[in-house]
């Protein structure tokens, strides 16, 4: 199957597909119609930039026909104010209602997150969604066991993270690990993938922001992830396929409270070289 086909009647020969192709595999023939460059089949990363940029809808890629790619809605562009509110209004939520998170909403959110950037468009992020109370309890207990292990085995590091105080609060009955969130969403990927840490972090950040649009709150589960990366008892519970590793996780649930103000943040530290 050809890498791409062009509807010559529709093509306005603007060369935009070639201009935006990240790997430079679209050339233009003498009449300015797009043609695959040498090695195009192997080098194409299926990112769909060519299809997405084409104003006439003439570009069908092997991985996606123009007709399969929805048109962008100009009227739905985020305004500067909306973007500011979205970014500045996002908060780590640590108080959740008991209400469970609906599976169809999670599916919708994870579907959206597929559009986040990923190294080489590899999309290698995989998800584990935990909402079973017993399983969540086992996960939390494993994190607590990891804390104790760290306090005994690597006290300097553990104290730097204040694991002593956090572990004490856990023993006193406070869920400082997953904050009683009804759901934990873990992003995992192949250990060998150099893109995995960035791709998973970006996907989780997108998920966190998208969740707010469905009335959900989220919080990064850093203690969980530290245990998931290094602590065999936790890895046994998670039971990821061989060669996979957790690269981050979010607690998810309906927030118990709503915030009123935007907290102050450190100034951006920028080296300008203009
Ligand atoms: C990688 C990472 C790990 C985190 N781990 C935890 C965690 O285990 N528990 C928690 O309550 N918050 C955790 N947080 C949330 C931070 O404490 C929070 O983002 C920070 O205090 C700023 O607050 P804000 O998110 O409301 O702006 C984590 C954040 C990141 C980015």
The domains located in the chain, with CATH, are 4-68 (3.30.70.20), 83-253 (3.40.109.10)
**Which position has the token pair 């069908």?**
60
Write out pLDDT tens, residues 57-116.
Answer: 999 999 999 999 999 999 999 999 999 999 999 999 999 999 999 999 999 999 999 999
Which residue's entry shows tokens 């070289």? 273
Residue nearest to ligand 1 atom 27, measured at CA: 91
Ligand 1 binding pocket mutation candidate from 185, 208, 219 (most atoms within 8 A of CB): 219
Per-residue model confidence (pLDDT) at position 120: 85
Nearest atom in ligand 1 to the alpha carbon of residue 224 is 8
Pocket of ligand 1, candidates 180, 218, 222: which has the most ligand atoms within 8 Å of its Cβ, to mutate? 222
Separation between Cα atoms, residue 239 and residue 177, nearest integer Å: 20
Query: How far does the centroid of ligand 1 lie from the alpha carbon of residue 218, in Å?
Result: 10
Q: Which residues line ligand 1 (CB under 6 A)?
A: 91-92, 94, 219-223
Residue whose C-alpha is closest to residue 93's, from 259, 264, 246 = 259
Distance from residue 146's CA to the centre of ligand 1 (Å):
19
Quickly list DSSP for the chain: --SEEE-TTT-----HHHHH-TT--EEE-TTS-EEEPTTHHHH-----HHHHH-TT--EEETTB-GGGSPPP-GGGPPPHHHHHHHHHH--B---B-SPPPPHHHHHHHHHHHTTS--GGG----EEEEE--HHHHHHHHHHHHHHHHHHHHH-HHHHHHTTHHHHHHHHHTT--TTTTT-SEEEEEEEETT-TTHHHHHHHHHHHHHHHHHTTT-EEEE-HHHHHHHHH-HHHHHHH-PPTTEEEEEEEEEE-BSS---SPPP-PPP------
Expressed in angstroms, the distance from the first to the final Cα of the chain is 47
pLDDT level of residue 119 (50, 70, 90 thresholds): confident
Among protein residues, the one with the nearest Cα to ligand 1's atom 18 is 92
Q: How many CB atoms lie within 10 A of CB 85?
A: 14
Q: How far is the CA of 89 from the centre of ligand 1 (A)?
A: 14
| pLDDT one-digit tens code per residue, 16-33 | 999 999 999 999 999 999
Counting from 1 in the atom list of ligand 1, the atom nearest the Cα of 263 is 27
Residues above pLDDT 70, as percent of the chain:
100
Q: How confident is the model at residue 215 (pLDDT cuts 50, 70, 90)?
A: very high
Q: How far is the CA of 220 from the centre of ligand 1 (A)?
A: 5
Q: Ligand 1: which residue has its CA nearest to atom 28? A: 220
Structure tokens at 225: 């992830």
Averaged pLDDT, 258-274: 98
Q: Which residues contact 90 (CB under 8 A, 6 or more apart)?
A: 208, 209, 212
β-bridge mates for residue 126, sequence order: 188
């Amino acid at each position: 199957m050809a890498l791409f086909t062009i509807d010559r009647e529709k093509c306005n020969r603007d060369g935009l597909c070639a201009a935006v192709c990240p790997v430079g595999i679209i050339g233009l023939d003498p009449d300015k119609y797009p043609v695959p460059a040498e090695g195009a089949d192997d080098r194409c990363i299926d990112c769909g930039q060519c299809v997405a940029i084409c104003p006439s809808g003439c570009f069908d890629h092997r991985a996606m026909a123009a007709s399969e790619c929805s048109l962008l809605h100009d009227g739905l562009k985020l305004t500067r104010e909306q973007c500011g509110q979205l970014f500045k209004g996002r908060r780590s939520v640590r108080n959740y209602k008991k209400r469970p998170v609906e599976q169809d909403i999670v599916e919708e959110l994870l579907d959206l997150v597929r559009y986040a950037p990923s190294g080489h468009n590899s999309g290698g992020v995989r998800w584990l969604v935990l909402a079973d109370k017993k399983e969540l309890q086992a996960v939390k207990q494993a994190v607590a066991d990891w804390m104790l292990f760290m306090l005994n085995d690597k006290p300097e590091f553990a104290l730097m993270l204040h694991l002593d105080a956090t572990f004490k609060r856990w023993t006193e009955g406070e869920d400082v690990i997953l904050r009683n969130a009804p759901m934990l969403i873990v992003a995992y990927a192949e250990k060998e993938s150099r893109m995995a840490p960035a791709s998973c972090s970006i996907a989780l950040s997108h998920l966190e922001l998208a969740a707010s649009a469905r009335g959900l709150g989220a919080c990064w589960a850093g203690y969980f992830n530290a245990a998931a990366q290094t602590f065999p008892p936790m890895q046994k519970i998670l039971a990821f396929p061989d060669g996979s590793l957790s690269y981050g996780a979010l607690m998810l649930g309906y927030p118990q409270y709503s915030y009123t103000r935007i907290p102050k943040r450190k100034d951006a530290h920028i080296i300008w070289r203009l």
